[in-house]
Chain A
Amino acid sequence: MQIDETDRRILRHWLAEPGLERAALAERAGVTPATLWRRLDRLREGGVIRAETAVINWRALGYAVEVSLRFTLDKTNPRAFDEFIVAARDVPEVIAIETFLGRVDVRLNVIARDMGHWTGIYRDRILTLPHIAEVEALMLVSTIKETAGLAL
């Protein structure tokens, strides 16, 4: 679909601050509220806006530990990626699955209540996933910036 300068301006402000009220967003993007609604509807229908989802703060639910696990898979097995991902989806504490081109094949974001809980998940649910050749853990200390903003 065609995306013009007005669409870009709306998306630039919205992605930078998704919590903005519609009226404030219209003002910032320099359009009327009616235009804003029409444009957002069009962007949704055209598939440019895919979803608006709630962000869960797992720390507030008692999940104090977040780990980024980087896997290299045994690629001699052509089904390694598929089978690994299907099995990873079964672990409730996995909150994101990403695949890569590079030294890392797959990354899982895993949460746990505390270090004891983490150790158990790691031993019983992660190391038992299929086709792992190598795994490295990065323990999250803090998130300094997190935005979906694009330099539109």
Chain B
Amino acid sequence: MTGSVIDLDDTDRAILRALVADGTLSAGELGRRLGLSQPSAWRRVKRLEEAGVLAGLRVEVDREALGFGVTVFLGVKLATKGRVSLEDFERAVQAIPEVQVVQHVLGLFDYRLRVVARDLADFERVLRRRIMTLPGVGNVEANVLLTEERRPGPMGVAESVVKA
């Protein structure tokens, strides 16, 4: 693709795989696992951070244990479109604390939202009071999340080769 994309070697990919499993690993521990010196592992991690490949930490919690038993993905179609209505919608939707993710998409819907709530009654309250009252909101489809699994992605495993 573009020239700004960095090249990774097998060691870089091994570092990414290790950090995707445990983002708290120190350079020393990474080095021990991969047969690198601590400074060398540190330099590689630094390079991956500077290139924007390592984009921070994600904390995964047991949401249910914290009282948030319901996660719902919403597909939202705007009733009216145009630059102003997109901006109004985006500004308002971001401010809702129960909305964790807002993605602008192309297809059947205009936006995808990830909403966390304590239970279905709480979700209904968020939907009616917060989501359905957003500026420009039209059709909304809700799907309740049952399970989620993150995959490592094309890192170290052969990526799909596309036939010409």
Contact = CB atoms under 8 A, between A and B. Distances in A.
A141 B112 CA distance: 11
Contact of A60 (B52, B66, B67): B52
B106 A138 contact: yes
Contact of A56 (B53, B93, B98): B53
B132 interface: no
A127 interface: no
A137 interface: yes
Contacts of B141: 102-103
Contacts of A136: 107-108
Nearest to A125: B160
B3 to A, nearest CB: 10
Contacts, number: 219
Contacts of B98: 151
A126 to B, nearest CB: 10
B99 A145 contact: yes
A142 B110 CA distance: 11
A24 interface: no
A145 B101 contact: yes
Interface of B: 1-2, 5-6, 8, 16, 19-24, 51-63, 65-68, 73, 75, 90, 93-94, 97-109, 112, 116, 141-151, 153-155, 157-160, 162-163
Given A52-B57, A93-B154, A138 B148 contact: no
Interface in A9-58: 11, 14-15, 18-19, 46-58
Interface residues of A, number: 71
Q: Does more than half of chain A's interface fall in helix, strand or loop, or is it mixed?
A: mixed
A107 B52 contact: no
A116 B162 contact: yes
Contact of B65 (A47, A104, A116, A147): A47
Closest 9 CB pairs of A and B: A120-B162, A102-B143, A54-B19, A62-B5, A54-B23, A57-B55, A138-B107, A100-B143, A60-B52
A151 B130 CA distance: 14
A14 B159 contact: no
Contacts of A113: 1
Contact of B145 (A98, A139, A149): A98
Given A95-B150, A140-B103, A52 B144 contact: no
B62 A48 contact: yes
A1 interface: yes
A97 interface: yes
A149 B60 CA distance: 10
